[in-house]
Amino acid sequence: ACSRLVLGIESSCDETGAAVLDETGLILGESLHSQKEVHLRTGGIIPTVAQQLHRDNIERVVQEALERSGVDPGKLSAVATTVKPGLGLSLGVGLEFSQRFVRQHGKPFIPIHHMEAHALTVRMLQPVAFPFLVLLVSGGHSLLAVARGVDDFVLLGHTLDEAPGDTLDKVARRLSLTKHPQCSTLSGGQAIELLAKDGDRKRFSFRTPMGQTYDCCFSFAGLRNNITMTIMKEEEKEGIKQGTLLSSVNDIAAATQHTVACHLAKRTHRAILFCKANGMLPSSSPTLVLSGGVASNQYIRKALTVISELTGLHLLCPPAKFCTDNGVMIAWNGVERLREGKGILPPNVDVCYEPK
Ligand code: KG4
Ligand code: ZN
């Protein structure tokens, strides 16, 4: 058979990823370089550092994906690359590389919206028909949308300040969790999930954000402020300085995770009721897709399972490696667009990236 082949390239944040997929979603070759350890050490992403790491790795990552697939660049049907949203300096590296590549090999170019790619990934793994509801939660994003088609999304809610993964990372940093023997190499979200397992969430109670706001947006900055105040009080009680591990760290982690889960579940519940009231989802077996780095949190997943069961939705959550940034999801979005002939550009068109 002569299935069409797509090379996907991702560099919007802190992962340099590439993959070659055939039209059915079979992954022929992939490669991923993560900068997460570097950024963990500096306590956050420094854009120029991220840019340099993408530059250092993009050529090798793309070569590896191609070699592993055994596909000659001449045999590709198109190249798909993330052009928005993300860090401008990071996006630029992947885009410049791709533009040179498509010109050199005379291939069509498919600019990809990173969030569209996250939302569609589930369809590579199993048949999920449009429309479906999607909740994307990671370090950089937080949104609720109805996916009505490959390039047709209705945005129901977004974060008004920061994304939940960002909040968890900042709380973890404030608690100095990298000093905890079990957490030295974990992301903030992973550290909080692990410590929360041995914590009593009821020892602290944080108000769930936006209880009186009648939309589907999110807000985490106020919650983070409450958590920080609590941490300061605890430090005073224990007579220790910032930077020292609190004895109540497990309980604070558990209460933090619980409140983030409640907020996500409540906003999603509102979105489901809104969709139902407006006939925006199919009446038989409607689906909620949960994705993004924060989706690997089992406690948060459980909260969304409860909401889904309550409202009769079927919850789907791709395995962790497909929830976080990678080249595969970009290649898959390329396949979906190629199939429908949407947004495919000739090799010589100049494309700009858009951070927002
Ligand atoms: O999707 P991702 O790899 O990168 C982007 O942000 O785009 O997500 C990373 C985020 C980080 O903020 C990290 O703390 C969070 O996802 N995360 C988690 C867990 N694993 C990663 N948050 C909660 N629980 C987890 N198990
Ligand atoms: Zn992402």
Same domain, 171 and 288: yes
Spatial contact of 290 and 328, defined as CB atoms under 8 Å apart? no
Same domain, 54 and 184: no
- The answer to whether position 190 is within a domain reads yes
Q: What does the pLDDT look like over 77-97, one tens digit per residue?
A: 999 999 999 999 999 999 999
Same domain, 99 and 12: yes
Same domain, 137 and 94: no
Q: Interface pTM (ipTM) of the complex?
A: 0.98
- Residue 77 has a pLDDT of 98
Q: 129's torsion region: left (phi>0), alpha (psi -120 to 50) or beta?
A: beta
The Cα–Cα gap between 224 and 77 comes to 46
Does ligand 1 come within 6 angstroms of the Cβ of 162? Answer: no
Does ligand 1 come within 6 angstroms of the Cβ of 117? Answer: no
Cα 324 to middle of ligand 2, angstroms: 6
- The answer to whether position 198 is within a domain reads yes
Same domain, 329 and 225: no
Same domain, 27 and 42: yes
Q: 25's torsion region: left (phi>0), alpha (psi -120 to 50) or beta?
A: left
The whole domain housing 53 covers 5-121+324-340
The percent of residues in the chain predicted with pLDDT above 70, rounded, is 99
Residue 23 has pLDDT above 70, yes or no: yes
Same domain, 221 and 197: yes
Q: What does the pLDDT look like over 129-142, one tens digit per residue?
A: 999 999 999 998 89
Number of independent structural domains in the chain: 2
- The answer to whether position 348 is within a domain reads no
Whose alpha carbon is nearest atom 8 of ligand 1? Answer: 293
Same domain, 291 and 328: no
CA pseudo-torsion sign 154, 159, 162, 167: negative
Cα 234 to middle of ligand 2, angstroms: 34
Instruction: Render 192-258 in DSSP notation, one character per residue.
Output: HHHHHTT--GGGS--PPTTTT--SS-B--HHHHHHHHHHHHHHHHHHT--TTS--TTHHHHHHHHHH
- The answer to whether position 166 is within a domain reads yes
- Top mutation candidate among 197, 324, 328, 330 for ligand 1, by most atoms within 8 Å of CB: 324
Q: What does the pLDDT look like over 280-303, one tens digit per residue?
A: 999 999 999 999 999 999 999 999
- Residue 126 has a pLDDT of 96
- Residue 41 has a pLDDT of 87
Same domain, 274 and 195: yes
